[in-house]
Amino acid sequence: MRGIPTVLITVSPEVSAQMRPPRALYPKGFGVGNSLGRPGLRELQRQVLRDALRLLTENTRPGQFVTREYPDYGEQYEPPRVRAKGE
């Protein structure tokens, strides 16, 4: 089977990293359930999707997570963390 290039948009980079995705965009501070931004903010959603797709043509190294900031999103959230053993 040939491979299909993929890019992940994640709001939980630490959690997603455990599955070793090929390349990923983390829109900094976006809440869970808001991978592309908030409802109705279509230009913000377009911006996030364009940035994610651009990672396919940039020279990302396998497994790289790229963080981008989007001030239009507004209030920021802390991403979910992965608990270490024993925590």
Partner 1 sequence: MTLSRKCVPFTPFDGELSKATVAIVSAGGVHLKEQEPFNIADELGDLSFRVIPDDADTSQLMVTHHHYDHADADSDINVVFPLDVLRDLKEEGFIREVARKHVGYMGYTMQLKAMYEGTAPEIANEIDRGSRADVVVLTGG
Q: Which residue ranges make up the site for partner 1 (CB under 8 A)?
A: 1-12, 14, 16-23, 32-40, 42, 45-46, 49-50, 52-54, 56-57, 62-63, 82, 84-85
Q: Kindly tell me which of 53 and 71 has the beta carbon lying closer to partner 1.
A: 53
Q: What is the dihedral of CA 27, 28, 33, 38, to 10 degrees?
A: -80
Amino acid at 68: R
Q: Kindly tell me which of 71 and 83 has the beta carbon lying closer to partner 1.
A: 83
DSSP reduced 3-state for 70 = coil
Report, in Å, the least distance between residue 29 CB and partner 1: 14
